[in-house]
C-alpha cells in the first residue's frame, strides 16, 4: 500500500481529485505543481495513515517509516538541501489537512529542521543571522505549542521581555543577538514545561510533528466541529511536509492571503492582504497591519503581475473563486495553498451568476454552487456584521439558542403577547421573550420583530409559526432565566429588563444586548412587496434569474404551508405552486373566533354544538375564499381540524373566569369541561380524524365552508382546486367514514349551486400503520385521492420521540452518535423515509398515479427534498419563506 505522495519540480504523484486520500491542501498543492504554478516541493502522508492509526490500536503501518525516508530523500534532491546539513539545510513546514477544510485540527509548524548549529550555520550562509534566529524562535514556539502542548503564552512572555529590554515595539526590530537570546529562553521554557530537551534531530522533530497531526484528528475540538458541520465518513487528516519558502528574509520578502474575487460582495476583483518581511500566519494574526493586495502594484509591480496572472489561471483551472496563500522569498513568488473560497450568500449568488454571464460555468453548475443558507441570507434582514462582531468582543453576547427563524431584529424586550401587541401599537419594535409559546400567543408573535423562547426545539410551536411568517426566532435557549413576575431575563451574568434593547440573529441563534442596526432584504421588498426601487437592484435580478433556472430543471412541484390569504400571497410571490397544507385550526385563533370554538366545546347537545359551529362557518369560508383567490389555478390542500380540543381552552384561572362570564355559565362548568378534556397524552389522544369521527358536525361544517368558498370563487372566474385532507388516520375505515361525509356534503352543495367545481378528498399519512396499509387507504372508489406525508408526526410516531421534548436528550444522542442529526429537521431516510417510500409505492398500487406530497418541516430541508425527489413524490410543501430554498433544492436533486 502506498501511503506517501510527492510533488515538486513540475510533477506530482497526486492531483486535485484525490482529496479523500491527500486532503484538500495536499491534493491542491499537487495540482498546482502540475499546472505550472510555483509551489515549494514536498510530500503528503495520506489520510489512510490516520485511518489506519485509529483502526489499529493507535499504531502506524509498518512500512510507513521507510516510505517517509524515501520521500524525504526525494524532497532533499528536489530542493537541493539536506536535513541537518550545515552547508545547505532543508527546512520544512508540517501542515494538517483533511478532505474538508476544518478548523480545530493541528496548527502548522514552520521552519522544522532547525537546531542551534543549523541556525548558526544558516545565518552565516545567507548572511542574515537575524532571519535565521527569527525562524528558529518561531519554530521552537510552534513545535512547543502545537506538538507538545506548551502554553503559547509562556513563550509570548519571553518575547515581550526581550522587546522591553531592547526598547522596541515590533518583533522585527529585534537584532540577531537579541533573537538568539530569545531562542535560548524559549528552549528553557520548553524544557521546563515538557521535562525533555528540545529535539535537535530533524527526523525526530518531523516524526513527532506527524504524530501530533494524526492525534489532532480526535481532539474534542475537531470532533465537535465535525459534528456541528455534519462532516461524516472521512478517513482522517493528511499530513503535508513542504520545503519552506521564507517570507521573513527582508524587504524583498513577504507573505499574504487573497481571494480571487471579493468574498463578501462577490465582485470580480482581486481581494486580499500581504505583509512585507513576515512569515506564516502573521497576516491573519494581526501582528502588524497588513497592506491591501492592490498596493503590491506599487511595492512590487512584477510580483503583483505574476500573482494576478496566477489568480486568473487558478480561477480558470478550478472554475470557481479561490482562496490562496502565498509567500515571497527574495523577490520569488511561491503559492502555498489554494482552495474554493468561502463566501457570503450574496457573494455566492453574485459569483455564480457572473460566471454564467462570463461563460465560465453552466446554469446547472451555478445552481449547484448556491446553497439554502446562501439564499436565506438574501431573503432576510441581517445584523450589521461589523457592529455585531464588535458587540460580541465587548462581551455583549447574551445567549445562544437554536436558530429557528432566520433574519435579524433589534427591539425592546416584552414578556407577554398582550404587551407585544400593545407596545407595537405605540410604534415600538418589540422582542417577545417567553418560556414557550402557545396558539394564544400568535397575535403577540405577529406584533414582535423577533421571538425568543427558552424551551422547545426546531419544530416547537414558536419555531413553526415564526418560520411560516419569515420571522426572526430563537428557541430552546435553555440558559435564559425568565422571571415573568419581575419582567426580567437573566443570562451570562447580565439581566435584561422589560423595555431593554436586545438584538437577535435568527440565523445563528445569537442574542446580543443593545442595539445593532439591521439591513432589510431588497429581494423580499422587490418580490413580495413589489417595491419598484428594490426591483432595480442587481440582487433582485440575480435572484429571479436563479429561481428561473431552478424551475427549468426541477421535477418536484413546490407548494407552501399557508393558513391565511396573506401567507398565500407571499408564497405565490416566492414561487409556490399551490398549498400543501392549510391548517384550519390556526384560523380559529384569529380575533374573536376562539369564543365560538369554546362555545362549541362547552355545548351539551348536538343542537347547541351545531349552533356554535355555524358561527365559525362564515369565518372559515371567507379565509378559504381569500386563499383560493391567491392560489388561482393551483391545488390547495386543506386539512380538517387536527389538535385536541383542550388547546382552545384557557390555561389559567383568569382565563377560565373570563370564559365563564362570556359563556354565561358558572366557572365550575368551565373547570369541569377542562378537566374532562384533560388527557395524559394529548398528542396521541382525541385529535385528528378522531375528533370528526365523534363530532361529525365539525367535519360537515369544514367541508361546507371549503366547498361554498370554492363555488363562490369559481363563480368569479378563479380556477379552484380544493383538496380536502383527513388527518391522522391509522385505519382505512377512518378515512372511508369521513370521506363519505365530506363527499355527500360537497356534492350536495355543488349540485345546489350548479357550479362546476371539482375537488379531491385525500389523507395525511402520519401514523406509521397507515403507510403500511396504504394500498387499502387509496384503493377502491371510496379510497383517498391523494396522500400528503406529514413527516413531523410521522417522525414523532416512528421514533416515539415527542418533538416538543426531544431537546432534553437530543444533545446526548448526538454526542453518543446514536443520532447524526435532529430527525425533525432532516428526514431519517432509513426509517421514516422508508415508510414514506413504502407508502408511495403501496398507495400507487391501490390507485395508479396517486398524487403524493410531503408537508412536514422537512419539505424545506435541502437534503430531505433530495430524498423526496428520489422516492418519486409529486411535490414538497414548506413554509412560504422556505419556498425559494425548496425550489433550488428540487433543482439540485435533478442535477
Q: Which residues bind ligand ADP (CB under 6 A)?
A: 40, 93, 95, 108, 110, 242-245, 255, 280-281, 325, 327, 336-337
From the list ligand ADP, Mg ion, none, pick the one residue 183 interacts with, judged by a Cβ distance below 5 to 8 Å according to partner type. Answer: none
Strands 109-112 and 450-453: unpaired
- The answer to whether 654 and 741 are in contact (CB under 8 A) is no
Nearer residue to ligand ADP within complex by CB, 280 or 578:
280
From the list ligand ADP, Mg ion, none, pick the one residue 93 interacts with, judged by a Cβ distance below 5 to 8 Å according to partner type. Answer: ligand ADP
Cell 420571522, residue located: 471
From the list Mg ion, ligand ADP, none, pick the one residue 883 interacts with, judged by a Cβ distance below 5 to 8 Å according to partner type. Answer: none
Provide, rounded to whole angstroms, the least separation between the CB of residue 125 and ligand ADP: 18
Cα separation of 246 and 93, whole Å?
A: 11
Catalytic residue flag (residue 461): yes
Nearer residue to Mg ion within complex by CB, 26 or 722:
26
CB atoms within 10 A of CB 42: 28
Nearer residue to ligand ADP within complex by CB, 334 or 867:
334
Q: Does 745 bind Mg ion (CB under 5 A)?
A: no
Site string for Mg ion, 492-511 (x = CB under 5 A): --------------------
Q: Give pairs for 117-121: CB < 8 Å, separation 24+.
A: 117/86, 117/200, 118/84, 118/85, 118/86, 118/89, 119/183, 121/86, 121/87, 121/89
From the list ligand ADP, Mg ion, none, pick the one residue 245 interacts with, judged by a Cβ distance below 5 to 8 Å according to partner type. Answer: ligand ADP
Provide, rounded to whole angstroms, the least separation between the CB of residue 890 and ligand ADP: 35
Provide, rounded to whole angstroms, the least separation between the CB of residue 240 and ligand ADP: 7
Which residues have CB under 8 Å from 886's CB, separation 6+?
558, 859, 860, 865, 876, 878
Q: What is the DSSP letter of 293?
A: G
Stretch that binds Mg ion, among 115-123, 163-171, 323-331, 562-570 (CB under 5 A): 323-331
Cα separation of 852 and 786, whole Å?
A: 6
From the list Mg ion, ligand ADP, none, pick the one residue 216 interacts with, judged by a Cβ distance below 5 to 8 Å according to partner type. Answer: none
- The answer to whether 766 and 794 are in contact (CB under 8 A) is yes
Grid coordinates belonging to 363: 446554469
Tally of helices (H runs) and strands (E runs) in the chain: 38, 32
Cα separation of 56 and 33, whole Å?
A: 34
Provide, rounded to whole angstroms, the least separation between the CB of residue 8 and ligand ADP: 12
In the complex, which residue's CB is closest to Mg ion? Answer: 337
Angle at 807 between CA 806 and CA 809, to 5 degrees: 75
Nearer residue to ligand ADP within complex by CB, 322 or 736:
322
Q: Does 33 bind Mg ion (CB under 5 A)?
A: no
Cα separation of 602 and 691, whole Å?
A: 15
From the list Mg ion, ligand ADP, none, pick the one residue 585 interacts with, judged by a Cβ distance below 5 to 8 Å according to partner type. Answer: none
Provide, rounded to whole angstroms, the least separation between the CB of residue 21 and ligand ADP: 18
- The answer to whether 770 and 840 are in contact (CB under 8 A) is no
Provide, rounded to whole angstroms, the least separation between the CB of residue 813 and ligand ADP: 31
Nearer residue to ligand ADP within complex by CB, 40 or 730:
40
Catalytic residue among 473, 582, 855, 878: 855
CA distances from 487 to 62, 474, 477, 482, 581 (A): 66, 19, 17, 8, 37
* HEC-encoded secondary structure of 91-112: CEEEEEECCCCCCCCCCCEEEE
Q: Which of residues 94-113 bind Mg ion (CB under 5 A)?
A: 107
Nearer residue to Mg ion within complex by CB, 31 or 107:
107
Q: Does 242 bind Mg ion (CB under 5 A)?
A: no
Provide, rounded to whole angstroms, the least separation between the CB of residue 244 and ligand ADP: 4
From the list Mg ion, ligand ADP, none, pick the one residue 507 interacts with, judged by a Cβ distance below 5 to 8 Å according to partner type. Answer: none
CB atoms within 10 A of CB 815: 12
Provide, rounded to whole angstroms, the least separation between the CB of residue 82 and Mg ion: 27
One DSSP character per residue, 594-614 reads HHHHHHHHH--SHHHHHHHHH
- For the four alpha carbons of 244, 248, 251 and 254, in that order, the dihedral sign comes to positive
- The answer to whether 773 and 732 are in contact (CB under 8 A) is yes
| Strand locations in 498-566 (E) | 501-505, 510-513, 518-519, 557-561
> In what helix (H) or strand (E) does residue 674 lie, and over which residues does it extend?
helix 667-677
Half-sphere exposure of 638 (CA within 13 A, CB side): 35
Q: Does 93 bind Mg ion (CB under 5 A)?
A: no
Nearer residue to ligand ADP within complex by CB, 324 or 893:
324
Provide, rounded to whole angstroms, the least separation between the CB of residue 554 and ligand ADP: 37
- The answer to whether 649 and 659 are in contact (CB under 8 A) is yes
Site string for Mg ion, 800-819 (x = CB under 5 A): --------------------
Nearer residue to ligand ADP within complex by CB, 257 or 749:
257
Nearer residue to ligand ADP within complex by CB, 38 or 626:
38
Nearer residue to ligand ADP within complex by CB, 93 or 507:
93
SS3 404: strand
Provide, rounded to whole angstroms, the least separation between the CB of residue 53 and ligand ADP: 20
From the list Mg ion, ligand ADP, none, pick the one residue 255 interacts with, judged by a Cβ distance below 5 to 8 Å according to partner type. Answer: ligand ADP
Catalytic residue among 71, 374, 461, 646: 461
Choose, by CB under 5 A, the member of 337, 338, 376, 459 that binds Mg ion. Answer: 337
Q: Which residues are catalytic?
A: 461, 855
Amino acid at each position: 500500500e502506498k501511503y506517501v505522495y510527492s510533488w515538486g519540480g513540475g510533477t506530482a504523484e497526486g492531483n486535485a481529485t484525490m482529496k479523500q486520500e491527500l486532503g484538500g491542501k495536499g491534493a491542491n498543492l499537487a495540482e498546482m505543481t502540475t499546472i505550472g504554478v510555483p509551489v515549494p516541493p514536498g510530500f503528503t502522508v495520506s489520510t489512510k495513515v490516520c485511518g489506519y492509526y485509529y483502526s489499529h490500536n493507535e499504531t502506524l503501518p509498518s512500512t510507513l517509516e521507510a516510505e517517509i525516508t524515501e520521500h524525504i530523500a526525494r524532497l532533499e534532491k528536489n530542493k537541493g538541501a539536506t536535513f541537518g546539513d550545515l552547508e545547505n539545510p532543508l527546512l520544512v513546514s508540517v501542515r494538517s489537512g483533511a478532505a474538508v477544510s476544518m478548523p480545530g485540527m493541528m496548527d502548522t509548524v514552520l521552519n522544522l529542521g532547525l537546531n542551534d548549529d543549523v541556525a548558526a550555520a544558516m545565518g552565516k550562509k545567507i548572511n542574515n543571522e537575524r532571519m535565521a534566529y527569527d525562524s528558529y524562535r518561531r519554530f521552537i514556539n510552534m513545535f512547543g505549542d502545537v506538538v507538545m502542548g506548551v502554553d503559547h503564552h509562556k513563550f509570548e512572555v519571553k518575547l515581550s521581555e526581550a522587546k522591553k529590554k531592547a526598547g522596541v515595539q515590533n518583533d522585527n526590530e529585534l537584532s540577531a543577538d537579541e533573537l538568539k537570546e530569545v531562542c535560548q529562553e524559549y528552549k528553557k521554557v520548553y524544557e521546563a514545561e515538557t521535562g525533555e530537551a528540545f529535539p535537535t534531530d530533524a527526523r525526530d522533530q518531523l516524526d513527532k510533528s506527524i504524530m501530533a497531526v494524526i492525534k489532532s484528528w480526535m481532539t474534542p475540538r475537531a470532533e465537535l466541529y465535525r459534528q456541528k458541520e455534519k462532516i461524516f465518513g472521512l478517513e482522517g487528516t493528511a499530513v503535508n511536509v513542504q520545503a519552506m519558502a521564507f517570507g521573513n528574509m527582508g524587504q524583498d520578502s513577504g507573505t499574504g492571503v487573497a481571494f480571487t474575487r471579493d468574498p463578501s460582495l462577490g465582485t470580480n476583483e482581486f481581494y486580499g492582504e500581504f505583509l512585507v518581511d513576515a512569515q506564516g500566519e502573521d497576516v491573519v494574526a494581526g501582528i502588524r497591519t497588513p497592506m491591501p493586495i492592490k498596493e503590491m502594484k506599487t511595492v512590487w509591480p512584477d510580483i503583483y503581475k505574476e500573482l494576478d496572472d496566477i489568480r486568473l489561471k487558478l480561477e480558470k483551472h478550478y472554475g470557481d473563486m479561490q482562496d490562496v496563500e502565498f509567500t515571497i522569498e527574495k523577490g520569488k513568488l511561491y503559492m502555498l495553498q489554494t482552495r474554493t473560497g468561502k463566501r457570503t450568500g450574496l457573494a455566492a449568488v453574485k459569483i455564480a451568476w457572473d460566471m454564467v454571464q462570463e461563460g465560465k460555468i453552466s446554469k446547472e453548475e451555478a445552481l449547484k454552487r448556491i446553497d439554502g443558507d446562501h439564499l436565506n441570507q438574501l431573503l432576510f434582514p441581517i445584523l450589521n456584521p461589523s457592529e455585531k462582531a464588535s458587540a460580541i468582543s465587548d462581551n455583549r453576547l447574551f445567549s445562544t439558542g437554536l436558530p429557528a427563524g432566520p433574519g435579524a431584529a433589534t427591539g425592546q424586550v416584552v414578556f407577554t403577547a398582550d404587551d407585544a401587541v400593545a407596545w407595537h401599537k405605540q410604534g415600538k419594535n418589540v422582542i417577545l421573550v417567553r418560556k414557550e409559546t402557545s396558539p394564544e400567543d400568535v397575535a403577540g408573535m405577529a406584533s414582535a420583530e423577533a421571538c425568543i423562547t427558552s424551551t422547545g426545539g426546531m419544530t416547537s410551536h414558536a419555531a413553526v409559526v415564526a418560520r411560516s411568517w419569515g420571522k426572526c426566532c430563537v428557541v430552546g435557549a435553555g440558559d435564559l432565566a425568565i422571571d415573568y413576575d419581575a419582567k426580567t431575563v437573566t443570562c451570562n451574568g447580565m439581566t435584561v429588563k422589560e423595555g431593554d434593547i436586545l438584538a437577535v440573529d435568527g440565523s445563528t441563534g445569537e442574542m446580543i444586548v443593545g442595539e445593532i442596526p439591521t439591513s432589510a432584504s431588497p429581494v423580499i421588498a422587490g418580490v413580495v412587496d413589489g417595491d419598484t426601487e428594490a426591483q432595480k437592484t442587481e440582487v433582485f435580478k440575480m435572484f429571479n434569474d436563479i429561481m428561473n433556472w431552478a424551475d427549468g430543471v426541477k421535477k418536484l412541484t413546490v407548494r407552501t404551508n399557508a393558513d391565511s390569504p396573506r401567507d398565500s400571497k407571499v408564497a405565490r410571490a416566492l414561487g409556490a405552486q399551490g398549498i400543501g397544507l392549510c391548517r384550519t385550526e390556526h384560523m380559529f385563533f384569529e380575533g374573536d373566533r376562539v369564543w365560538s370554538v369554546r362555545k362549541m366545546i362547552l355545548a351539551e347537545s348536538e343542537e347547541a354544538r351545531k349552533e356554535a359551529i355555524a358561527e365559525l362557518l362564515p369565518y372559515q369560508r371567507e379565509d378559504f375564499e381569500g386563499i383560493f383567490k391567491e392560489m388561482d389555478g393551483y391545488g390547495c390542500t386543506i386539512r380538517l381540524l387536527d389538535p385536541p380540543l383542550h388547546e382552545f381552552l384557557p390555561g389559567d384561572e383568569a382565563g377560565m373566569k373570563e370564559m365563564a362570564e362570556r359563556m354565561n355559565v358558572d366557572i365550575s362548568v368551565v373547570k369541569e369541561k377542562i378537566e374532562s378534556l384533560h388527557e395524559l397524552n394529548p398528542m396521541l389522544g382525541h385529535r385528528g380524524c378522531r375528533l370528526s369521527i365523534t363530532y361529525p358536525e365539525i367535519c360537515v361544517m369544514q367541508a361546507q365552508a371549503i366547498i361554498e368558498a370554492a363555488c363562490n370563487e369559481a363563480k368569479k372566474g378563479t380556477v379552484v382546486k380544493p383538496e380536502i385532507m383527513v388527518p391522522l388516520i391509522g385505519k382505512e375505515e377512518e378515512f372511508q367514514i369521513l370521506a363519505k361525509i365530506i363527499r355527500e356534503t360537497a356534492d350536495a352543495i355543488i349540485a345546489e349551486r350548479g357550479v362546476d367545481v371539482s375537488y379531491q378528498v385525500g389523507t395525511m399519512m402520519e401514523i406509521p400503520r397507515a403507510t403500511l396499509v396504504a394500498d387499502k387507504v387509496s384503493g377502491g372508489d371510496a379510497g383517498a385521492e391523494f396522500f400528503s406525508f406529514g413527516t413531523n408526526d410521522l417522525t414523532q410516531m416512528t421514533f416515539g420521540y415527542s418533538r416538543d421534548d426531544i431537546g432534553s436528550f437530543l444533545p446526548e444522542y448526538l454526542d453518543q452518535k446514536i443520532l447524526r442529526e435532529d430527525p425533525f429537521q432532516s428526514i431519517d431516510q432509513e426509517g421514516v423515509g422508508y415508510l414514506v417510500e413504502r407508502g408511495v409505492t403501496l398507495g400507487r398500487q391501490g390507485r395508479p398515479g396517486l398524487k403524493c406530497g410531503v408537508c412536514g418541516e422537512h419539505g424545506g430541508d435541502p437534503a430531505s427534498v433530495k430524498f423526496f425527489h428520489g422516492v418519486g413524490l409529486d411535490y414538497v410543501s414548506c413554509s412560504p419563506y422556505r419556498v425559494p430554498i425548496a425550489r433550488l433544492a428540487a433543482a439540485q436533486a435533478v442535477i
